[in-house]
């Protein structure tokens, strides 16, 4: 019999749930902010599309596409393989011009000893340029 008065005490609690009124007020504020957002987001999407159209990899393509002018001496250049700024290692290779000079010397009646001179003269040979870092052949200076 003593429990009935306690139920009466619980019945006094429900009036404390008046927070529902505050929750409804805050949700209305949220709807107002969402309604204002769509207008500024539309122009920002256009800017992102414009930036994505600019290819970032263009400079690297220029290095590969443009042939590097190489002379008879070690040249300061950018290696297309390892992208390092290097001074090339050069190597003289017998090329078409070497054989043509040797053939010309034989044609003009010079002895077989003289026709071998072009093979000993570096200026009569092609020059190959190698990267000292990765041994990549950067280019070849052909005399013909
Ligand atoms: Zn390299």
Residues 98 and 134 in one domain: yes
Between the CA of 44 and the centroid of ligand 1 the distance, in Å, is 42
Residues 99 and 39 in one domain: no
Residues 80 and 115 in one domain: yes
Residues 29 and 83 in one domain: no
Distance of CA 32 to the CA centre of its chain: 45
Length of the chain in terms of residues written = 144
Residues 84 and 108 in one domain: yes
Residues 77 and 128 in one domain: yes
Residue 92, in any domain of the structure: yes
Q: What is the DSSP string of the chain?
A: -TTHHHHHHHTTSGGG-THHHHHHHHHHHHHHHHHHSHHHHHHHHHHHHHHHTS-TTHHHHHHHHSPPP--SS--EEE-TTT--EEEPEEEEE--HHHHHHHHHHHHTT--HHHHTHHHH-GGGSEEEEE-TTT--EEEEE---
Residues 32 and 103 in one domain: no
Higher pLDDT, 92 or 61: 92
Between the CA of 63 and the centroid of ligand 1 the distance, in Å, is 13
How many distinct structural domains can be found in the chain?
A: 2
Residue 10, in any domain of the structure: no
Residues 122 and 74 in one domain: yes
Between the CA of 75 and the centroid of ligand 1 the distance, in Å, is 13
Residue 26, in any domain of the structure: yes
Between the CA of 86 and the centroid of ligand 1 the distance, in Å, is 8
Between the CA of 52 and the centroid of ligand 1 the distance, in Å, is 31
**Domain with 39 in it:** 17-52
Tens digit of each residue's pLDDT (9 = 90 or more) over 80-121? 999 999 999 999 999 999 999 998 998 887 766 788 889 999
Residues 45 and 110 in one domain: no
Between the CA of 60 and the centroid of ligand 1 the distance, in Å, is 14
Between the CA of 114 and the centroid of ligand 1 the distance, in Å, is 39
Tens digit of each residue's pLDDT (9 = 90 or more) over 3-60? 555 554 455 555 555 555 554 444 445 455 555 555 555 555 555 555 555 555 444 4
Residues 27 and 92 in one domain: no
Between the CA of 70 and the centroid of ligand 1 the distance, in Å, is 15
Residues 90 and 40 in one domain: no
End residue of a domain, out of 8, 36, 52: 52
């Amino acid at each position: 019999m003593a429990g009935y008065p306690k139920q009466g005490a619980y019945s006094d609690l429900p009036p404390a749930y008046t927070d529902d009124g505050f929750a409804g007020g805050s949700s209305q504020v949220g709807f107002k902010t969402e309604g204002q957002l769509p207008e500024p987001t539309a122009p920002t999407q256009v800017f992102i599309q414009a930036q994505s159209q600019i290819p970032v990899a263009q400079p690297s393509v220029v290095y590969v596409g443009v042939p590097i002018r190489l002379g008879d001496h070690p040249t300061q250049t950018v290696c297309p393989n390892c992208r390092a700024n290097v001074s090339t290692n050069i190597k003289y290779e017998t090329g078409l011009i070497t054989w043509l000079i040797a053939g010309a010397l034989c044609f003009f009646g010079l002895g077989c000893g003289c026709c071998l001179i072009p093979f000993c003269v570096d200026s009569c040979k092609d020059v190959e340029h190698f990267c000292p870092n990765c041994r990549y052949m950067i280019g070849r200076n052909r005399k013909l």
